[in-house]
C-alpha cells in the first residue's frame, strides 16, 4: 500500500487552504525527502494564497518554503554521507521555482527538497528556530550576489581582513525583518560595520544578539541625517545598502553622502523597484538592483549549494550565525495555517511566525 501524508493544499488562489491527504513521493536523483517538524511563514506565502503570485500553475498546489525536520531518504546523486537518514536539517522548499507543484511545498508533513537547499543543524539549534533560516539566509545572500559582494565564482569579494581597520560600513534598512536580520549577520561576518533601522523595541535585540553596530528608528523624520552624521563621526564610509523594507530613496540619500569619491553606491532591494524593473540608476548615481538568485538553473544550484551546504553549515557549527528573528509559535499545526497567514498579513514586528507540524 502506498504511503500517504497530510498536506494543507490550495485548490485555487483566493480560497482558503484545506487539509488533504497526498501520496508520499520518493526523492529524485538530487532530492531529499524530509519529515517536516516545523515550518516558518513568509509574506510571499499569503500573496500566493490570496493572489496566486508568484505564479502557481498546479492545482492543487502546496505553498511554503521554510522548514526544519529529519531526512527520510536521499536520491542517488546526493553526495554520499552528506545527508544520511535521520539527519536534523533546515531546508528551503522550492515552491516558487516549482510553481506550486505539490510535493515541493513546505505546508505538509513530508516534502521533497533539492539537496543544494538543505543544511544540517547542530543539536543546540531547536526545530522552530531552524525553520526560520531558509528565506532569511538565501535572500540576504541573493542580495549580496546581485550587487557583486559575492562573485559569479562564489567568492566573497570583501574579506574580513579588508575591513579590520573598521572603515567600511553597510546600511541595512529594515533590520528587524527576517531578511534584514540575515543581511545584518552576513554583513557582519564579511567584516563590515552595520548601520541599520528598526522600530525602537527591536533595537536591543539587533545590537546585543545580532551585533549590529548602530541602530536607528526608521520612523524618525530625521533618521537619514542621523545615520549620515553618525557614520561621519565614526569615520565610516558606506557605499552599500540592503533595502529590506522598500526605502530605496532613503538608502540613496545616505549612500550619496557617504560613498567615497571614485566608488559607485550599490543597493540590493528585496522589495520591487519602481516600474518593476530589475535595475535602476538612482539620483546621484547609485545603482539599485532587485534581489534575485542566479537565473540559470545550473548557476542557481551552485549558488544554493554554496549558501546552504557550505556557508550556513559552517557558520551554524561554529555558532557564528543564529536563527533570527525571534520565533513565535502559532498553534493549530497544518489546520491552523490560514489563521497564521492572516495574522502575518496584519503585520508582525521583529518575530518570525512558526507552525509546528509535529510536537
The CA–CA distances, whole Å, from 179 to 86, 96, 134, 202, 240 equal 29, 17, 10, 15, 16
Q: What CA–CA distance (Å, rounded) separates 347 from 247?
A: 18
**133-146 and 178-189 helices, crossing angle to 10°:** 60
**Residues 288-327 pLDDT 10s:** 999 999 999 999 999 999 999 999 999 999 999 999 999 9
Q: What CA–CA distance (Å, rounded) separates 100 from 223?
A: 40
**Residues 105-120 pLDDT 10s:** 999 999 999 999 999 9
- Determine how many CB atoms are found less than 10 A away from the CB of residue 256: 15
User: Domains in the chain, ordered, with CATH?
Assistant: 4-132+325-356 (3.90.180.10), 138-290 (3.40.50.720)
Residue 167: band (very low, low, confident or very high) from pLDDT cuts 50, 70, 90: confident
Model confidence at 162: pLDDT above 70: no
Q: What count of Cα atoms within 13 Å lies in the side-chain half-sphere of residue 55?
A: 3
Residue 157: band (very low, low, confident or very high) from pLDDT cuts 50, 70, 90: confident
Percent of the chain with pLDDT over 90: 92
* Cell numbers at 166, concatenated: 573598521
* Cell numbers at 258, concatenated: 557617504
- Please give the pLDDT value at position 210: 98
0.85 surpassed by pTM? yes
Q: What CA–CA distance (Å, rounded) separates 4 from 33?
A: 13
Q: What CA–CA distance (Å, rounded) separates 158 from 155?
A: 9
The secondary structure element, H or E, covering residue 69 is strand 66-74
**Residues 219-276 pLDDT 10s:** 999 999 999 999 999 999 999 999 999 999 999 999 999 999 999 999 999 999 988 8
> Which long-range contacts (C-beta less than 8 Å, at least 24 apart) are formed by 3-7?
5/108, 5/109, 5/110, 6/108, 6/109, 6/334, 7/62, 7/102, 7/105, 7/107, 7/108, 7/109, 7/334
The answer to whether the beta carbons of residues 116 and 304 sit under 8 Å apart is yes
Model confidence at 165: pLDDT above 70: no
Amino acid at each position: 500500500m502506498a504511503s500517504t501524508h497530510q498536506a494543507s493544499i490550495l485548490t485555487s488562489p483566493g480560497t482558503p487552504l484545506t487539509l488533504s491527504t497526498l501520496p508520499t513521493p520518493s526523492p529524485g536523483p538530487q532530492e531529499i525527502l524530509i519529515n517536516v517538524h516545523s515550518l516558518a511563514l513568509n509574506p510571499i506565502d499569503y500573496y500566493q494564497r490570496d493572489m496566486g503570485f508568484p505564479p502557481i500553475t498546479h492545482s492543487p498546489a502546496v505553498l511554503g518554503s521554510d522548514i526544519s525536520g529529519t531526512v527520510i531518504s536521499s536520491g542517488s546523486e546526493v553526495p554520499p554521507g552528506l545527508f544520511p537518514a535521520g539527519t536534523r536539517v533546515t531546508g528551503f522548499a522550492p515552491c516558487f521555482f516549482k510553481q506550486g507543484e505539490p510535493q515541493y511545498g513546505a505546508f505538509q508533513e513530508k516534502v521533497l527538497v533539492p539537496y543544494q537547499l538543505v543544511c544540517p543543524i547542530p543539536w543546540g539549534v531547536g526545530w522552530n528556530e531552524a525553520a526560520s533560516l531558509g528565506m532569511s539566509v538565501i535572500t540576504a545572500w541573493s542580495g549580496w550576489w546581485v550587487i557583486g559582494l559575492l562573485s559569479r565564482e562564489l567568492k566573497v569579494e570583501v574579506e574580513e581582513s579588508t575591513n579590520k581597520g573598521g572603515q567600511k560600513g553597510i546600511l541595512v534598512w529594515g533590520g528587524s525583518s527576517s531578511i534584514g536580520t540575515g543581511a545584518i549577520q552576513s554583513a557582519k561576518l564579511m567584516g563590515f560595520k552595520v548601520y541599520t533601522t528598526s522600530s525602537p523595541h527591536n533595537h536591543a535585540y539587533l545590537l546585543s544578539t545580532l551585533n549590529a553596530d548602530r541602530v536607528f528608528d526608521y520612523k524618525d523624520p530625521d533618521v537619514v541625517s542621523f545615520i549620515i552624521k553618525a557614520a561621519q563621526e565614526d569615520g565610516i564610509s558606506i557605499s552599500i545598502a540592503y533595502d529590506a523594507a522598500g526605502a530605496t530613496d532613503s538608502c540613496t540619500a545616505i549612500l550619496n553622502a557617504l560613498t567615497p569619491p571614485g566608488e559607485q553606491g550599490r543597493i540590493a532591494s528585496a522589495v520591487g523597484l519602481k516600474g518593476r524593473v530589475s535595475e535602476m540608476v538612482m539620483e546621484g548615481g547609485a545603482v539599485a538592483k532587485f534581489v534575485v538568485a542566479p537565473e540559470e538553473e545550473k548557476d542557481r544550484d551552485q549558488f544554493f549549494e554554496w549558501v546552504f551546504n557550505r556557508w550556513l553549515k559552517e557558520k551554524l557549527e561554529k555558532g557564528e550565525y543564529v536563527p533570527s528573528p525571534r520565533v513565535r509559535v502559532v498553534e493549530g499545526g497544518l489546520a491552523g495555517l490560514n489563521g497564521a497567514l492572516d495574522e502575518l498579513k496584519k503585520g508582525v514586528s521583529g518575530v518570525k511566525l512558526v507552525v509546528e507540524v509535529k510536537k
